[in-house]
Amino acid sequence: MTPAGRGRLGAWPLGDGRYAFRLWAPDAGQVALVLDGEVHPMQPEHEGCFFLEASGSSGTPYRFLLDGQVQVPDPASRWQPHGVDGASALLPDDGHAWQSRWDGRPWQELVIYEVHLGCSGGIAGLMAQLPALAAMGITALELMPVAQFPGRRNWGYDGVFPYAPAEAYGHPDALKALVDAAHGHGMAVLLDVVYNHFGPQGNLLDTYASAFFKRDAPTPWGEAIDFTQSQVKRFFVDNALMWLQEYRFDGLRLDAVQAITPNAFLGELVQAIREGCPGRPHVHLVLENERNQSRWLRGDYQAQWNDDVHNALHVMLTGEVEGYYADYAGRAPQLLARALSEGFAWQGERNHKGELRGEPSADVPPQRFVVFAQNHDQIGNRAFGERLVTLVPAAHARAALALVLLLPMVPLLFMGEPWQARQPFLFFTDYVAPLDDLVREGRRREFAGFAAFADAEQRQRIPDPNARATFDACRVMLPAAGDADADAHLAVFTELLALRRRYLQPGLAQARSLGARVLGRHAVQAGWQLPEGQWWIAINVGESEVELALPDGALVWEQQPAAAGRIAAGSVRVHWVAG
């Protein structure tokens, strides 16, 4: 029986073919369970819940009948075999026989590889890649959201059934098999979850549980969720516990938590997860939080994605200053230096929109930040989904990757990045009319404020998110045997990870900043004290050499040779000062 199965919303196995069905429907007077075509009245409970125990078998379809008129699928359905508009189906919790003995991996060992299942050939395709990824030095997968979404193609952030793995990826047990296989290769598996909104197609909660949403606080993606409601909070707490307990994920990345209000729910969630996963010290909880709220990083949340490092570095690399890069215009190296030495670049100052952003973070240990030169957002938010290697010289792209891997923070790579894959990552969906047209034109309007797309004709060049070709262009498989360019990139990648394991990983938790300084418009250096010595790194993504100010020490790595006391253009240099 699933732990705590009797109290959860949804349909949970109780053993011996019995299931507990519970729906929160405060706007309904009567609710009945329609199980395999048979109608069973449900009993009202507290707070607008309705409950029933009944017998069924794996795959048995069911819906809920509201006030004798409308049938709806289960919003906490754990299996939607026919998509967002189909019936829910019963799912046992013992369908997969776990093979790997796994105690998790400590946070300081993680080298995270963010991946979209569909673009990796589905579950089977990604499973086939696991041996090669492990051999490269990847120690953790991070799956973009897998919750049931409309159609066959989606980034995953338009999910409407948070408990049900998307049927486009196969049976839910196949997802468990993927986690199991990754564990067998020594890799932790994190899951990106979306608790701030539901997608625009297939969500019927508003028809019988209107209190689920806040009318006065919309998000950029849809109606805000009301986290003052106890049943709403339970819905998402139990969802997190399901992924961690039943699917044995090693952690969760919480998407855009700035849109979760009241924010206090984050504290309740992390406490429930720690209490619900006893004996599992290596459950990692990571935030994406535009507000840079360092308060959450001094407690049980493991880390936050550090957009400031990426954004400042990207402006230094490309010179782009439109959109959110405007915050870094004219001061990118100063903000990168601050992010490297203090965690966040924005710690309470006003951004270019006049909005206060961030909290002081200088006391937060470096390992509490996840750093990246690319991720799904930073590539996919571009009109044509270009990767960094197609925007800047190859040496500069390699320098950005080297910086990410050699910082005493936790690195994240986007799928294909270790070998500098060139496939774009475009925004793609699979909506039906009229939503398909609305999404396509809405996507193109998003770029009207950018100089390159001020002209309507230019905006028509932006790929149609609903076109199958848009999705197909984003597929990333392992490089072919004999691909000399990919082999060269992977050789450097594995070399850098070997240095990381030798110098940074053992003392990562004790790393403390020794400060950072700007070397020029495109160059920065920073240092950290580790238990066995000092680690100093400099990066130059400009077009000419600049003078260094690194302390004397062993030269650990240099991307491009330069004269003494200088760093070459498109290069990273690392010193180790023992003792």
Residues 301 and 162 in one domain: yes
Residues 75 and 155 in one domain: no
From the CB of residue 92, how many other CB atoms can be counted at a distance below 10 Å? 19
Is 288 tagged catalytic? yes
Query: Is position 505 within any domain?
Result: no
pLDDT tens track for 121-150: 999 999 999 999 999 999 999 999 999 999
The whole-number pLDDT of residue 551 equals 95
Among residues 495, 529, 545, the one where a domain terminates is 495
Residues 480 and 518 in one domain: no
pLDDT tens track for 329-350: 999 999 999 999 999 999 999 9
With 50 as the cut, is the pLDDT of residue 2 above it? no
With 80 as the cut, is the pLDDT of residue 182 above it? yes
With 70 as the cut, is the pLDDT of residue 409 above it? yes
With 80 as the cut, is the pLDDT of residue 1 above it? no
Query: Is position 104 within any domain?
Result: no
Query: Is position 174 within any domain?
Result: yes
Residues, the chain: 579
Close Cβ partners of 297 (under 8 Å, ≥ 6 residues apart): 287, 303, 304, 343, 361, 364, 368, 369
At 546, which CATH number? 2.60.40.1180
Residues 212 and 245 in one domain: yes
Outline where 348-431 has alpha helix (H).
Answer: 376-380, 394-405
At 64, which CATH number? 2.60.40.10
Q: What whole-number percentage of the chain has pLDDT above 70? A: 99
Mean pLDDT, range 446-457, rounded to an integer:
94
Query: Is position 573 within any domain?
Result: yes
Residues 77 and 169 in one domain: no
When divided into structural domains, the chain yields a total of 3
* Secondary structure class of 154 (helix, strand, coil): coil
What six digits make up the tokens of 281?
């010290």
pLDDT tens track for 8-51: 999 999 999 999 999 999 999 999 999 999 999 999 999 999 99
Residues 485 and 518 in one domain: no
Residues 195 and 310 in one domain: yes
Residues 212 and 291 in one domain: yes
- Of 74, 142, 255, 464, the active-site residue reads 255
Query: Is position 542 within any domain?
Result: yes
- Of 114, 238, 250, 288, the active-site residue reads 288
With 80 as the cut, is the pLDDT of residue 3 above it? no
Query: Is position 123 within any domain?
Result: yes
Q: Structural domain of residue 537, as residue ranges?
A: 511-578
Give the amino acid at 23: L
Confidence of residue 4 (pLDDT cuts 50, 70, 90): very low
With 90 as the cut, is the pLDDT of residue 7 above it? no
Residues 126 and 168 in one domain: yes
Q: Report CA Rg, the chain.
A: 24
Residues 318 and 422 in one domain: yes
Query: Is position 44 within any domain?
Result: yes
* Secondary structure class of 257 (helix, strand, coil): helix
Residues 42 and 183 in one domain: no
pTM, full prediction = 0.97
At 276, which CATH number? 3.20.20.80
Among residues 30, 55, 89, the one where a domain terminates is 89
pLDDT tens track for 197-251: 999 999 999 999 999 999 887 788 878 999 999 999 999 999 999 999 999 999 9
Phi-psi region at 482: left, alpha or beta (left = phi > 0; alpha = psi -120 to 50): left
The whole-number pLDDT of residue 441 equals 95
Residues 486 and 348 in one domain: yes
pLDDT tens track for 346-395: 999 999 999 999 999 999 999 999 999 999 999 999 999 999 999 999 99
